[in-house]
Structure 1
């Protein structure tokens, strides 16, 4: 709150009239001000009038001498407005003290008018602004870390997806090998059957050849069974890989969404930090 110098006529009655006017009007000013405040009027040596606030009370008594280092004394010495910030440990709450000189028509200083404003709300605002700024910085750092992790996860999932596709490609190549083995088994079985028929036609002389033919047929049967088993296993692996590929794709999408969401949160935190700065500026205006 800005106060200006006051000029009155240099006479005892005028000073008394001014003091009476202050006594009548300052209580109204105190009520309309939104902050707790106190007023004091002095001459060049002592306090003439003191109006305490609800919480601000310096226990000043009319007629008591001015403190040499106080704002009123400095105002009298310099002839200019003196604004001081009084820490909490002096009067129990922080106070902003504004002191302006009162001059007569000749320009001579005959006293001062002092206003003390409570800075308790300012401290609350400053503390809130600092807490908001600190919290927003921590959250921003965390969201940036999450976004970075989400991006890394997305890249890792992409590598895993490529690896799964490569495995699927390798498994498809085994189909050709199994088909070749299946053909050999079929031909071997046919060869063994023909050999058995030929051995039976020859009679006693073909018994040894019949044994070999039987073994060939057994080998062909076992090979065909092994091919079927391998084909079944590979088919199950293909299905599992397809499912893995689907899960990887879904997870990668979620990772991208998470990264986008954390970027939005980070932007909101920057706006919150900016608001905290504005709150701190408002607190400084008080």
Structure 2
């Protein structure tokens, strides 16, 4: 390297030593900088956490991005995993040329990718979580639809039971009429038995039993009517509850559909976040 080239590199090194610490402070990401000639490193500024542990005077490695930029005269970029220096980072090496166009050195910047990795992992976790929630929401929506169908069937069954119970009213009316007629018949038979005196004694006993049976039938019919009325009231209450359950099931199905749509949108956002992370 001649004196003129050495002077240019010295001037560049001096300018970088003054400016790069300020640039580093303004840079939003953790960065490190290095300047090398064709043989060795001339200047190195480590990042806050990102540190390749380069000492001025250290020979340029025989392989890697810096050597490739020196040999090709083209800008070379690459990504290094965290296993090498503890943090993943992206390295870009730009050749430095003299007035004649010859490559006299290389300027390198290393940008930490720790934030990118964190963002990418978060995006992946978000995508997985949204997929799981979406699947669960679809399952819940299906279950809600099945529940709505079951509740609807129960509601129809309850209405059918009410209709069947209404038919028992006719049977109870018939029993009451039979009881009333039996009571009247027994009363008439008792009167006739009294007129017959001793000859009507056995007939009077039968008439008395008929009246007891009619009274018992009337009382039983009344009890049955009360029980059936209570059943009707409870079935009506059950019908109201089932109607409310049906409405809630329909709302649940609609809500889970909205959740599924939101999860799909969230998954799409996770893909966009992953894309943004890769742009760094």
Work out the CA distance in 1 between the residues paired with 2:33 and 2:264.
42
Match of 1:170 in 2: 164
Report matched runs for 1:29-108 at 5 Å: 29-108=23-102
SS at match of 2:95: strand
1:118 has 2:112 as partner: yes
Runs of 4 or more consecutive aligned structure 1 residues displaced over 6 Å after TM superposition:
none
User: Hey, what's the Cα distance between the residues in 1 that align with 2:215 and 2:87?
Assistant: 99
2:159 pairs with 1:160: no
Q: Superposition pairs for residues 142-157 of structure 1, below 5 Å?
A: 142-157=136-151
Alpha-carbon distance in structure 2 between the residues aligned to 1:250 and 1:185 = 43
SS for the counterpart of 2:196 is: helix
2:225 is matched with which residue? Answer: 231
8 Å contact from structure 2 (residues 80, 89) kept in 1 = yes
**What is the match of residue 260 of structure 1?**
254
TM, length-normalised to structure 1: 0.91
Indicate the SS of the match to 1:11: helix
Rounded Cα–Cα distance in structure 2 between residues aligned with 1:43 and 1:11: 10
- CA drift of 1:84 comes to 1.2
TM-score normalised by structure 2 residue count: 0.93
- Structure 1's unaligned 5+ residue stretches are 1-9
Which of 200, 223, 241 aligns to 2:194? It is: 200
Give me the whole-angstrom Cα distance separating, in 2, the residues matched to 1:12 and 1:189: 135
Q: By how many angstroms is 1:192 displaced?
A: 1.2
- 74-83 or 172-181: bigger deviation: 74-83
What's the CA shift for 1:45?
A: 1.5
| Alignment: residue pair count | 278
The answer to whether 1:133 aligns with 2:127 is yes
Unaligned residue ranges in structure 2 (runs of 5+):
none
Deviation per CA, 1:65-121, whole angstroms, max 9, x where unpaired? Answer: 111122100112222211111111111111110011112233322211100011111
Q: Which residue of 2 aligns with 1:180?
A: 174
- The Cα of 1:40 is off from its aligned counterpart by 1.0
SS of 1:83's partner is strand
Q: Does 1:271 align with 2:265?
A: yes
Greater Cα offset, 234-243 or 202-211? 202-211
